[in-house]
Amino acid sequence: MKRMRSIAGIFLLAVTATAGAIEIDDILQAILDQALTVSIVARVTENGRETVHSYELTQVTVSGRAVRLRLEGGNLTIIAEFTPYEAEDRSILLIAEGQIWLTTPQNEIVHYRTSLRSIPLELGETVLFYPLGLSALDVDLEDVNGSGSEEDRVNIELEVQVEPYSSAEG
């Protein structure tokens, strides 16, 4: 009799575990259905024309969770965070935050600049974000006092695209 109860208990536990697994799978699928893919292409340009370095990042996230990109080089550090918020109509409000630290060559002075933008867009639409500003003359990595030549000046362009997550990607 005890053996029969044990077998019945194991059977009941197996049925419960299977039902629980289905619920977990359903929950995971619901999360994936709401997931977004944020793709960022970062380009470093000289004189506003020539791309001297490029970097790509693709990350899966959900509405309200930021994707962070950190770029460091010489005396410059850039942190960019992109937070997509999805509306019921599937449009996106992208919050783009940029933080820049620029030190003088002698490490005497640290310049800090921050920017925050709210950008409405549709899924799949591409947006450009310039954490240093639009002009390559905004920052001179060799001399922050402005006495350097224009050949030494660079800019950063971040191309951002938000799309629905596809399980074929991950």
Give tens-digit pLDDT for 94-113.
Answer: 999 999 888 877 778 888 88
How many angstroms separate the CA atoms of 112 and 118, rounded?
A: 21
109 inside domain: yes
Range of the domain at 29: 1-34
Domain check: are 12 and 70 in the same one? no
User: 3-state DSSP call for residue 2?
Assistant: helix
* pTM across the whole model: 0.72
Residue 13 sits in the same domain as residue 72: no
Same domain, 78 and 105: yes
The tally of domains found in the chain comes to 2
Rg, C-alpha atoms of the chain: 24
pLDDT at 79 over 90: yes
Is residue 68 domain-resident? Answer: yes
What is the residue type of 139? V
Extract the tokens encoding 69. 């990109």
- Residue 161 scores a pLDDT above 60: yes
Please indicate, yes or no, whether residues 27 and 56 belong to a single structural domain of this protein: no
Same domain, 117 and 39: yes
Each residue of 72-89: b (16+ CB within 10 Å) or e? eeebbbbbbebbbebeee
DSSP SS3 for 22: helix
Nearest one of 30, 83, 52, 34 to 152, comparing CA atoms: 52
Q: Verify that 98 and 133 share a domain, yes or no.
A: yes
For 13, the 3-state DSSP assignment is: helix
Residues 23, 65 share a domain: no
Which range, 19-23, 89-93, 147-151, has the best average confidence (pLDDT)? Answer: 89-93
